Amino acid sequence: MFGMRRWLKDRLVDFLNHPVSNYERRGENDVEALTRHVAKGDVLLVEGEQRISHVIKLLTHSTWSHSAVYIGDELLQRGGELRDRALEAWGDGAEHIIVEALMDGVVAQPLTKYAHLNVRICRPHKLRPEHLKTIIEDTVAAIGWRYDLRNVVDLAKYFVSVSVFPSRLRRERERMGSEVQTEVICSSLIGQIYQRVGFPVAPTVTFPATSGGVEPAHAGLMRRFFVRRGFEPQGIFHRRHPTLLTPRDFDLSPYFEAVKFNAVADGAFDYEQIHWAHEESAAAYRIAEIAIGGESDDSESH
């Protein structure tokens, strides 16, 4: 019986990991610029090209289907067997490594693995050096952990219920998955590591209400801050369990910054220097002229 379940699971994984043919690239990634601007501790968001990626995007209503942590040359810095294995596997690519949770478990991979896909860098705002060190240590230590497929199934059930049932009929959950700390998905791995140092991803925040009660708000959507001397968050922050997080939470979080590394990173972008295809430009101008002309005619008739 166990062998049959294992066989079915392997077949399901193979099916979900199969790439789709209609993936849409938003632009070419400048790999040199990516490696120059990414920093240790950054979260890399990926719009995947596999079937499972499309399922995740559909369920979460988000572009991003996967997330990973950038650790740079940390494996080389540690020396010994880790350094030897990294150099043997990736050569020069071992200087730019990400750690991610895949269906095969938590693994280290070269950053260039996703250079052909749509990606985004999310950087924790003003992360303290000592906390960055802890995050990197915990990320490296997590290599070899198992994938929590049950967490994915639970999240899928939750997002389906959100789409179908009103909030009063939904059963809110405090956590999802297998309840084993060393079994994770991509986003729960990162959430667990960041929460250990007290850095918020998408916490729930309560604010004092004028009536004397409390007014709940989601931190990913609410930015209720008062400027006193610097930037000081108000309210009581409540951690969300890492198993409730998805890749989109790092993009929507007000505590992570989006780092542009392609066209605008070095300040050289000038849209007036773009060479538009003649046919497309001409068609666009004709549409604009018709629209403007129509508006003028309407205004004159009045």
Give me the CATH number covering residue 258.
Answer: 3.90.1720.10
Report yes or no on 302 lying in a domain.
no
Under DSSP, is residue 84 helix (H, G, I), strand (E, B) or coil?
helix
Report yes or no on 212 lying in a domain.
no
Report yes or no on 276 lying in a domain.
no
Separation between Cα atoms, residue 50 and residue 279, nearest integer Å: 34
Domain that holds residue 113: 2-203+239-271
Least confident of 4-18, 46-60, 286-300: 286-300
The mean pLDDT value for 265-280 works out to: 79
Helix (H) or strand (E) holding 278, with range, is helix 278-301
Report yes or no on 25 lying in a domain.
yes
Angle ∠(210,213,219) on CA atoms, nearest 5: 85
Separation between Cα atoms, residue 9 and residue 149, nearest integer Å: 10
Under DSSP, is residue 109 helix (H, G, I), strand (E, B) or coil?
strand
pTM of the model: 0.78
Report yes or no on 222 lying in a domain.
no
| Residue 42 DSSP symbol | P
Mean pLDDT for the chain overall: 82
Cβ burial of 89 (10 Å; 0-12, 13-18, 19+) is: middle
> How many folded domains does the chain comprise?
1
130-134, 221-225, 242-246, 268-272: range with highest mean pLDDT: 130-134
Separation between Cα atoms, residue 131 and residue 163, nearest integer Å: 38
- Please report the pLDDT score of residue 10 as a whole number: 66
Report yes or no on 294 lying in a domain.
no
Cα–chain center distance at 24: 18
The mean pLDDT value for 246-254 works out to: 94
What are the distances in angstroms from CA 207 to CA 214, 237, 273? 6, 9, 48
Pick left, alpha or beta for residue 212 (phi over 0 → left; psi -120 to 50 → alpha; otherwise beta). left
Contact 104, 185 (CB under 8 A): no
The mean pLDDT value for 223-246 works out to: 70
Report yes or no on 54 lying in a domain.
yes
Report yes or no on 105 lying in a domain.
yes
